[in-house]
Amino acid sequence: MRLVLALVVAIAACGGEAARSSPTASPAPQATSSAIPSIDVSDMMGAFPPTTYFVVRPGNVTALALLNHATKYTIPTEAGEAQVATATEAGRVYVLDQTREGARLRWFEIASGAERRSQLVAGANLVATGSGHGTLAFDSSNGEVFALLRQGSSMAIEEFEGFTLSPVKRRSGDLRCGERILASAGRVVLACLGEGGVVLDTAAGGGKFSAQAPLVSIAMSANGTLMAGSADGRLFRLAPGATALETIEILRGEGVRLIADGIAAQADCCFVIAAVDRVANPQITILRGGLTLVRFPESSAPSGGILVQPPFAYYAVGKEARHIDLQQGFAEVMAGFSEGVLPGAVADR
């Protein structure tokens, strides 16, 4: 009874409007748009950094904003499969595409998409990867850019100065195989996926390593730790200073199949592994040894691999660019297009 009386008193104190109802009552006045302050939805109250996801489409590279999924800008490309890499600290995105004259390397401001430098390698051709990355790499430890290019019947790794794009030197020439390159911590890596071979080039020397199995994916962390994987789930790690590949069998009992380009580095400590499994929706499994497994259904397996910018992994399925929360497993479509897209690069800008 006391509770009822208290409620009646409270309603009366507010003027009793909640207790009175009439079909003839006029609607409450509506606020005009000028009375509502504008809100920048791309900020999201600082919940996440303003990440940019670069997807490769026929004829352009599209920059998507994480927080409102808007298209920030597009970078026109010519024929061939464009390759993308980012230098986040410098605020640059590098794009390698094919022109009639040869392979063209350019860099643009991540914030605005403005082109700043361009370099043409006459007579050279891009090496196809089936993705928007894999044959273009940036090493933040020395500010150099590396590209795997084909000239005639042979391939070579070309090194460029990161700001001017002036040629520095040819790191490896007359290569008979090679589908992916990586660069980090002063280490340049060439991978011959079908042969399971890895060639390491450093200032202190190099080395050749064999996984004794065809590889489908390879990635390198900022400290130079290399991680590769075969389709059946075997992982191979080469830590800085190691003299042999370490075989990791942690996924062999999971019954999963690694996807092409399905390994991405997450800081110095960890790697994210993308695989196909018998699941209805994407699932996240945290494994020991700094590994995170993302299980994708066969019906929505990523094409072109995955990229990581915590707390999300970025990927593409058919005509859609997507991301997934690596902690909660929440997956979301960022944008849909009229043609197939591939993941290129990601930056926290």
Decide which of 2.130.10.10, 3.40.50.150, 3.20.20.10, 3.40.190.10 is the CATH code for 48-347: 2.130.10.10
**pLDDT, tens only, 49-86:** 789 999 999 999 999 999 899 999 999 999 878 999 99
Strand duo 167-175 + 125-126: pairing: unpaired
**pLDDT, tens only, 22-37:** 333 333 333 332 333 3
Gap between the Cα atoms of 145 and 94, Å rounded: 9
Q: What order of strands is seen across the sheet that includes strand 283-287?
A: 257-266, 270-277, 291-297, 283-287
Gap between the Cα atoms of 75 and 56, Å rounded: 10
pLDDT band at residue 47 using 50, 70 and 90 as cut-offs? low
Query: For residue 49, what pLDDT is reported?
Result: 75
Which residue reads 């930056």 in tokens?
347
Query: For residue 241, what pLDDT is reported?
Result: 87
Q: What percent of the chain has pLDDT over 90?
A: 74
The partner residues of 103 in beta bridges, in order of sequence, read 98, 121
Query: For residue 137, what pLDDT is reported?
Result: 98
Query: For residue 314, what pLDDT is reported?
Result: 98
Query: For residue 203, what pLDDT is reported?
Result: 77
**pLDDT, tens only, 313-346:** 999 999 999 999 999 899 999 999 999 999 999 9
User: Domain map of the chain by residue range?
Assistant: 48-347
Residue 196 backbone zone (phi > 0: left; psi -120 to 50: alpha; other: beta): left
Q: What is the mean pLDDT of the chain?
A: 87
Distances (CA, A) of 46 to 42, 50, 70: 9, 9, 17
pLDDT band at residue 264 using 50, 70 and 90 as cut-offs? very high
Averaged pLDDT for residues 235-263: 93
pLDDT band at residue 268 using 50, 70 and 90 as cut-offs? confident
pLDDT band at residue 39 using 50, 70 and 90 as cut-offs? very low
Asked if the model's pLDDT at residue 11 lies above 70, the reply is no
